Structure 1
Amino acid sequence: MMIRQAQLTDIPALTALLQEILTVHHEIRPDLFKETGQKFSAQELEELLINPHQPIFVYEVEGEVVGHLFCKIVSQEHSVLQTVKTLFIDDLCVKQGMRGKRIGQQLYEYALTFAKEQNCYNVTLDVWSDNEEAVAFYQRLDLRPQKVRMESIV
């Protein structure tokens, strides 16, 4: 098992994992998420794979990609907030059937190490509050809410 930078040959595995995430989100919020679709086209994934500010890492077991970590390095300037360099985790997924084996934790720890190497101030991510398994997972990793977005369906 190893974590490495994603390659063009990983696109089919990345697409399958992204579909798994979409299925989870659709089950939780079918009012917002379609049952099928693609977050990124193959061409968009190709472009991401060469973008140094949006690295993608994969977790590989015996030649099979069983997890991924999509990141973005961002610095937001704001009139009242400090400017900080952040590693934003855009997507972290472990293949169904491989969950519970600490793969997600290892991917997150890899993100922390990578963020330190890139001189980031923090690591952030978004998680749907109705995705209780994901919320509990991130809480076990000692992540805490930074801000809360609330909604009212009208």
Structure 2
Amino acid sequence: MAVDLTLNTVLLHRTDLEMDLVEHRLASFSQWPLTGNCKCTPERMAEAGFYHCPTDNEPDLVRCYVCFKELDGWEPDDDPFKEHSRATDCAFVQLGKKEHEMTRLDYITLQREGAKNRARKLYEVRVTQLDRAKREAKRELDRVRRNVR
């Protein structure tokens, strides 16, 4: 059974907890659309901190397990390390180490930063949902008021 890696499920139920290991991130790329001679191979994507979380509209969507940055629209010549390096606030990017080079302290630091980013991202999602609900309620209230007149 495949793990649900949609953003809401990841944030609410932490279904991505095993993605801190490169082998688990790599396993998520079983349906990766880009294969063959390209820079964004599943191995390189996983080493760059990404796991594959495709949607119907975004079959090449990936997410960083630490900063939650999502990227899609991958081309064969895209370098996952270069693309991820644009997320300058990402602790994984700042650390700049491969998994086998990490110390226990590095691992704990990435876990801590990931937890903070998860909380921040969940807050942002909830604020967006609340704003959407307020707009919908206002539209409905306006519709009811028009019908009362």
TM norm structure 1? 0.26
Higher strand share: 1
TM-score (norm 2): 0.27
Higher helix share: 2
